[in-house]
Amino acid sequence: MITALAFSTIEAIDRDAWNACFPAELEDWNYYRAVERAGIADFQWRYLALYEDEVLIAAAVAFTTAYSLDTTVQGLGKRISERLRRVWPGLFDVHLYALGSPVAEQCHVGTAPHIDPARRVDLLQQLLRLARHDADQAGVGLLAVKDASHRDPQWLQVCQDAGLQSMPGLPSAELPIRFGSVDAYLGTLGKSTRKDLRRTLRGQGPRIEWRRSVDDLLPRMMALYEATLSRSDLTFERLPPGYFRQVLEHLDERAACVLYWVGEELVAFNLVLFDELRLVDKFFAHDLAQTREHNLYVRSWLANVDYCIEHGIPIYACGQAGYASKLRLGCSFTGNTVFFRHRNRLLDSLLRVVKLFIRPDRSDPAMAAAISEQQ
C-alpha cells in the first residue's frame, strides 16, 4: 500500500532515501536544505513523498507563493503590464502552488532505484494528485508544474493526460565540452565570435579567485546582485545573503563562488555547483561599468569552460537567460514546458487566453530561436 505525504521541511525525509530518488543530481537533499535555511522571502516549501511499506519510492519538490503572471514577459509586453499595474495593483498576481523550485531550472520528479520502470508513470500520477490535494488543503486554486524537462517524456505525458494547460518554458542551455583546450573551443565558433573572444583574451583581464567561504564579501556581493537583478526583466525570486552562504556551506566541495577582481575591487562573482559530470552556473552578478570595460561575462564564460576542460567535466550547464549570447557561444538547448490548471473553470478558461500573451518567446527573438533549436 502506498502512503502519500506532504512535508514543510526536507528534514522530515531521510537524506539518503531522497538522494537515491535523484541520482547524480547536484541539486540534492543538501541543496534544498540550504535553500530552506536561506530564508528566501515570499516562498513556502513543500516536499511530496510516496512511501511503500515505509520506504520512500517517489518524491518531488514544490512551493507556494504569490505569482505575477507577467514574470516571463519582456520588452513591450513588460512595459504594458507595468503601466496596467499602476492602474490596477495586483492585476497579474495570483496565489500559486507549483511543483519544482524557484531556485532550480527544472522540475525533477524522482523514483527510487529499485522501482520497476513500468511503475513510474503511475507514481508520477500519484505525485501530481498529491500536489493537487496539498494545494486544495492550502486553499490554492492554481496548480502548476514549473519547467518540466523535455528529457523526461513520461512526466510531460502525465501532465498532459491530467488535463493541464501548457506553454513553453525557458529553455535550459548547456555547452557540451568536447574539446581539449579553450583555443580548440574557440575554433568551433563563428568567425566574428571567435575573433571577439580572442581579442578579449589578449587584453588584461581581472584576477580570478575561487572561494568556498565569502562571509567577508557578502555586502559587496549583494550590491552586485541587486544591481544585476534590477537590470533583468525575468525576476521570480530575490535571493538573500543567506542563500549564498548556505549553499557554499551545505554543498561543501560541490559549490564555489568564482570572484573577479580589478585591483582591490570585487567587480563580479559567479556561484557555481559542480561534480565530475557537470558544472552548473547558478548566478552571475557584475558591475555593469566594469563589464563593459573588461567584458566580464565573456571572461567568466571562458573561465568556466577552461575549468571544465581542465577537470574533465563533460557538460557546462549555463542557465536560462542571455539566449542571444549563448547561441553565439555554441550552446545547445533543452526544452522545458510549464503546465498549469486552475480548479475554477472560469479562471482556467481566462488563463487559456492570458497565456497567449505571456509566453516568454513572444517578446524575445533569441529565446524563440533557442526554443526552435531544442533537442
- pLDDT per residue as tens digits for the range 62-82: 999 987 765 555 555 555 555
pLDDT at 101: 95
**38-52, 114-128, 187-201, 219-233: range with lowest mean pLDDT:** 219-233
Q: Are 141 and 95 in contact (CB under 8 A)?
A: yes
Fold (CATH) for 173-333: Aminopeptidase (3.40.630)
Comparing 329 with 71, the larger pLDDT belongs to: 329
Ranges of H-type helices in the chain: 15-21, 29-38, 75-87, 120-137, 153-161, 182-186, 191-202, 218-230, 241-251, 288-294, 296-311, 323-328, 345-358, 365-372
Q: How many other C-beta atoms are found inside a 10 Å radius of the C-beta of residue 374?
A: 14
Ranges of H-type helices in 167-213: 182-186, 191-202
pLDDT at 88: 46
pLDDT at 121: 97
Q: How far is residue 218's CA from residue 365's CA, in Å, rounded to a whole number?
A: 35
Look at the pTM and tell me if it is higher than 0.85: yes
pLDDT at 304: 97
Tens of pLDDT, residues 332-344 = 999 999 999 999 9
Average pLDDT over residues 285-300: 88
Average pLDDT over residues 130-152: 96
Q: Are 162 and 324 in contact (CB under 8 A)?
A: no
Average pLDDT over residues 222-231: 91
**75-84, 141-150, 182-191, 294-303: range with lowest mean pLDDT:** 75-84
All cell numbers assigned to 159: 501532465
pLDDT at 87: 47
Q: How many other C-beta atoms are found inside a 10 Å radius of the C-beta of residue 235?
A: 11
Tens of pLDDT, residues 243-260 = 999 999 999 899 999 999
Tens of pLDDT, residues 95-128 = 999 999 999 989 989 999 999 999 999 999 999 9
Q: How far is residue 202's CA from residue 252's CA, in Å, rounded to a whole number?
A: 34
pLDDT at 355: 74
Q: Are 258 and 55 in contact (CB under 8 A)?
A: no
pLDDT at 196: 93
All cell numbers assigned to 370: 533557442
Fold (CATH) for 2-171+336-372: Aminopeptidase (3.40.630)
Q: Are 173 and 319 in contact (CB under 8 A)?
A: yes
pLDDT at 375: 46
The domain ranges of the chain are 2-171+336-372, 173-333
CB-based burial, 71-110: b 16+ in 10 Å, e otherwise? ebbbeebbeebeeeeeeeeeebebebbbbbbbbbbbbbbb
Q: Are 33 and 10 in contact (CB under 8 A)?
A: yes
Q: Are 281 and 329 in contact (CB under 8 A)?
A: no
Candidates 6, 88, 95; CA nearest to 42 is 95
Candidates 284, 308, 268, 286; CA nearest to 175 is 308
* For residue 288, pLDDT beyond 60: yes
249 beta partners = none
Q: CA angle, 321 as apex, 318 and 325 as ends, to 5°?
A: 80
* For residue 14, pLDDT beyond 70: yes
pLDDT at 373: 58
The yes-or-no answer to whether 2-171+336-372 and 173-333 have a common fold is: yes
Comparing 323 with 315, the larger pLDDT belongs to: 315
Q: How far is residue 247's CA from residue 273's CA, in Å, rounded to a whole number?
A: 9
Average pLDDT over residues 320-347: 91
Q: Are 286 and 277 in contact (CB under 8 A)?
A: no
Q: Are 156 and 124 in contact (CB under 8 A)?
A: no
pLDDT at 108: 87
Question: What's the whole-number average pLDDT of the chain?
Answer: 89
Beta strand pairing call for 172-176 and 315-319: antiparallel
Average pLDDT over residues 281-290: 90
pLDDT at 128: 98
Candidates 38, 24, 324; CA nearest to 193 is 324
Tens of pLDDT, residues 167-201 = 988 899 999 999 999 999 999 999 999 999 999 99
Average pLDDT over residues 313-321: 93
Q: How far apart are the first and last CA of the chain?
A: 38
pLDDT at 234: 60
